Amino acid sequence: MKRNKVALYIRKSREEDNGKEETLHNQEQTLINMCESRGYEDYEIFKEVESSIKYDRPELLKLMKGIEQGKYTKLLITHIDRLGREIGLLDDLKKLCVASDVIIETPDTIINFKDDNHDLMYGFSSVLADFEYKRIRHRLATGKVNTVAIRKKWIGSTAPYGYEYDKNEKILVPHKERRITYRKMVDLALEGHSFSEVANKLNSLGMFTQKNNRWTAGRVLKILKNRTYLGEAEYNSTRLGRKVTATDCHEALITPEEFETIQKLSATRRNYRSKDNWGKTKTPLDSLVYCGRCKRKMSIQISKKYSQARGHWHFYQARKCIHPNPDGTRCPNSGCKIDIIEEYVLGLLAKYKDNLTNKLLSLQNNDTTEAETAIAIRLEALSDDEKKQSNRLKRLTDLYLDEMMDKDEYESRRKEMLDKDKAIKSEMAYLESKLSNLDVSTVEDKYEEIIGMIDSYKDMPLEEKNKTMRLLISRIELTKATTTSTPKIDVWFMENL
């Protein structure tokens, strides 16, 4: 299908119900002007005239259908807010735009959800965050903070461990003590402990579950894989007929980076099942060596030797793979001394370290000063606004107390001011978090930590060596034709550079 059409969406928003038809006309004119100045010749106008029924927006639905069919390349609106404040619908629209490569343009911003020119580290997420933020601000401004929370599927059931459900605010809030246990769990997992080890440590620290039970690997797993802790919530979209995710629903207790790292660690190891090797680390490569032929995990065994000249000695080896094949034969992969594999892996780690060092240097040279200054200036202005707002409120109260104003007017103006104050505070919080996202020091810290681990590997005790390997490497595949042939070793890193 030919795709060069641009969709224009116009809508009278609810707040302007006392407003005029002119608003629609103005929007239309603005968008048509945009098309002319940007050279978009072929456009189609979607004009939402009536919105008497809640959430029923036939034109937007028609437009979304068109996007899904790949009819449009761009969607023009005068302001993001025109799309409405219904979070589910916005999420659906966002997904459709991503799927169909549609760029949203307003007179002053361009939102391209697929733009990978943005630095993946923070650029993309802040584009999203900007978009999300406008929604939050809108909800705050209209007093509909919890539109999302109300629809969450956990409503009525128990809040996830670490949270409690605030009935008045209709939102999940962190539980004072349990959030600490949750964070302990996260930190332990990030240190490279398996789910069973995390459970054991928590139990030994006297930190138990909500019902005062002991933690098990399964319970820990369930919690660490739960995206609710990211501030997300899932709900069923009747429009798309599938589950969609809403973000910023409540305070997050884990960062996306931490969450991802834990998922990576667990996906590659599945070590919550391997109760058999607790505290019995045999080699630095335990749980990491797989057969290059049949792809199954190779077992590591000790090989004891004796000779008259040398006396007794032993070494560990990845045992010859004898897994049965579907045709009844056995996998013919040969075994290999762990020392040999380890030496090879250490060679790769040295190169990995060089790459990290280079990356670290380029991060340190990456100048974000300009963006930081812009945010700082905006924050300062907001802080002034906040003060002014609080003075206004004082004056208003004085007027009321002096009986210059009746109660109704006072209440309504006070509410207006408080809403505005809330919006200011929320923008400040958002900008502050954006400022810290611009700060790459957490990534730098992480890289520096990895470099440090590689440097001190030689002097680590065995168990720590194994932890380090498992933190850095997800999988090692060994392929060896015969006992005497040279092994082929493939290594997958947790994080590719």
| Residue 294 interacting with Zn ion (CB under 5 A) | yes
On whether the CB atoms of residues 83 and 138 are closer than 8 A, the answer is no
Cα separation, 147 vs 374, in Å, equals 32
Smallest distance, Zn ion to C-beta of residue 304, A: 24
| Residue 293 interacting with Zn ion (CB under 5 A) | yes
Assign 266 to helix, strand or coil: helix
Smallest distance, Zn ion to C-beta of residue 268, A: 18
Which of these segments, 104-112, 202-210, 286-294, 360-368, binds Zn ion (CB under 5 A)?
286-294
Smallest distance, Zn ion to C-beta of residue 194, A: 24
For every residue of 186-236, DSSP letters joined together read HHHHHTT--HHHHHHHHHHTT---TTSPPP-HHHHHHHHT-GGGGT-EEEE
Q: Which residue lies nearer to Zn ion by CB, 95 or 323?
A: 323
Which of these segments, 39-47, 73-81, 122-130, 284-292, binds Zn ion (CB under 5 A)?
284-292
Quickly tell me which residue has 């579907």 as its tokens.
326
- Residue length of the chain: 497
On whether the CB atoms of residues 276 and 284 are closer than 8 A, the answer is no
Cα separation, 118 vs 95, in Å, equals 19
Size of the site for Zn ion (CB under 5 A): 7
Cα separation, 202 vs 197, in Å, equals 9
Which of these segments, 42-50, 94-102, 285-293, 383-391, binds Zn ion (CB under 5 A)?
285-293
Q: Which residue lies nearer to Zn ion by CB, 66 or 335?
A: 335
For 9, 198, 302, 371, the CA distances from 278, given in Å and listed in that order, are 61, 12, 17, 49
Smallest distance, Zn ion to C-beta of residue 321, A: 3
Cα separation, 21 vs 128, in Å, equals 32
Q: Which residue lies nearer to Zn ion by CB, 12 or 293?
A: 293
Two structure tokens written together for 38: 């940007």
Q: Which residue lies nearer to Zn ion by CB, 13 or 333?
A: 333
Two structure tokens written together for 174: 């962190």
Q: Which of 198, 253, 291, 476 binds Zn ion (CB under 5 A)?
A: 291
Assign 243 to helix, strand or coil: strand
Residues numbered 296 to 335 that lie near Zn ion (CB under 5 A) are 321, 323, 331, 333
| Residue 480 interacting with Zn ion (CB under 5 A) | no
The upper half-sphere exposure of residue 56, i.e. CA atoms within 13 Å in the direction of its Cβ, equals 5
Site string for Zn ion, 387-406 (x = CB under 5 A): --------------------
Site string for Zn ion, 238-277 (x = CB under 5 A): ----------------------------------------
Q: Which residue lies nearer to Zn ion by CB, 183 or 323?
A: 323
Residues that bind Zn ion (CB under 5 A): 291, 293-294, 321, 323, 331, 333
